[in-house]
Amino acid sequence: MSFGRDRDSCHTQASLEEYESQKIEEWGRDVEASSHVKLSLPLLTRDEDTHYISVNFDPALVRLLRETKYFLLAELQVPESALAIYAQVETFRVWTQKLDMVVMKHNGPYIRVLSTMIRRRRDSSPGMMDVGRFFFDFE
């Protein structure tokens, strides 16, 4: 009776390994297809309405880097395309940190100027300023 269980166990193990291999291959194809596009996007973007800038490091790339890290820690097979991107993880981390600093330095004074303008406008015409009913255009 144990012979049948061993054979079923081996079959189940082989099926799981095949399934894992298929999923890793699919993940590799997805990485290949999307990562080049994501890496070519601009790293800083400006909001058309508020004119604030923000770091545009795609969440899909963050997820890819995290998944690759955990695959490597678990000693699982990682597609070459994911490894090539993961090899630059430290560079991405440094760039995003520095760009976050640029964003804070840019948007900080901009927010202060905007709030000063709103306060002056509000103080110069009491009663006429209802919340949500005014807009500024800085162009």
Q: Is residue 67 in some structural domain? A: yes
Q: Residue written as tokens 């800038």?
A: 53
| Single-letter amino acid, residue 106 | H
Residue pLDDT, tens place only, 33-79: 778 788 888 888 888 887 788 998 888 899 999 999 999 999 988 88
Residue pLDDT, tens place only, 7-38: 777 878 888 888 888 888 888 888 877 787 88
Which of 19, 137, 7, 21 has the alpha carbon at shortest distance from 79? Answer: 21
Q: Is residue 132 in some structural domain? A: no
Question: Model-level pTM?
Answer: 0.64
DSSP 128: T
Structurally, the chain folds into a number of domains equal to 1
Q: Is residue 103 in some structural domain? A: yes
Q: Is residue 138 in some structural domain? A: no
Which domain, by its residues, includes 25?
A: 2-124
Q: Is residue 26 in some structural domain? A: yes
* Alpha-carbon span 33 to 38, nearest angstrom: 10
Q: Is residue 9 in some structural domain? A: yes
Across 111-127, average pLDDT: 62
Q: Is residue 75 in some structural domain? A: yes
